Chains A and B, each alone.
Chain A
């Protein structure tokens, strides 16, 4: 079963606009992570937010976490064509051992 569900499934924006992706999950977590995947490649870790954190920034990325609503959002500001990729959230479940559970991803397309 999918722990993390991303929304929307696909997003198309113009270069310079902001892109927001959401992730919902079902059970208690230690942390939540966001990954990026360029077409046909492996995933690359973007940012990790711990369960006791509410917001985190890394360059043009901003992640929020609301544990009461079991949801997170990833904001990419001033998007570029090079940001075109799929974005996945992954949850590190409390008592889940050493594995992450990935969602189905959001496909972002940034057009010139």
Chain B
């Protein structure tokens, strides 16, 4: 079975801190994604990567950056956390186009 893991289930950070969210998948998928999920807004794509060291902006990249140094790992970075980045963050991977996505369990981030 495909497994996507995220480094934390719950995280509390202070405004202005640099925050790293880590995601690892074990099925050699080319594509990895970071979403945030907020009530009433569904899933919104922040960034995605289709290969090592490649990244593309999603719908809401402002305030975020990403890193993909190895195929299995995709990191989301909040350079200076703000309270409006309090959200559920979901990582996903996908083997290629026309296939389904596999999601991690999510990280609920609270910025105070």
Contacts and interface: CB of A to CB of B under 8 A. Distances in A.
Contacts, number: 64
B105 A42 contact: yes
B58 to A, nearest CB: 7
A40 B107 CA distance: 9
A45 B58 CA distance: 21
A98 B97 contact: yes
Interface size class of A (residues with CB under 8 A): 20 to 34
B100 A103 contact: no
B98 A40 contact: no
A45 B101 contact: yes
Contacts of B41: 104
Interface residues of B, number: 31
A104 B104 contact: no
B51 to A, nearest CB: 10
A27 to B, nearest CB: 15
Interface in B44-103: 45, 48, 50, 56, 58-59, 88, 90, 92, 94, 96-103
A41 B50 CA distance: 24
B103 A31 contact: no
Interface string B23-60: 00000001101010000111101001010000010110
A98 B90 contact: no
Nearest to A44: B103
B90 A99 contact: no
Interface in A18-46: 30-31, 33, 35, 40-45
A16 B103 CA distance: 29
Interface of A: 1-2, 30-31, 33, 35, 40-45, 48, 50, 88, 90, 92, 97-105
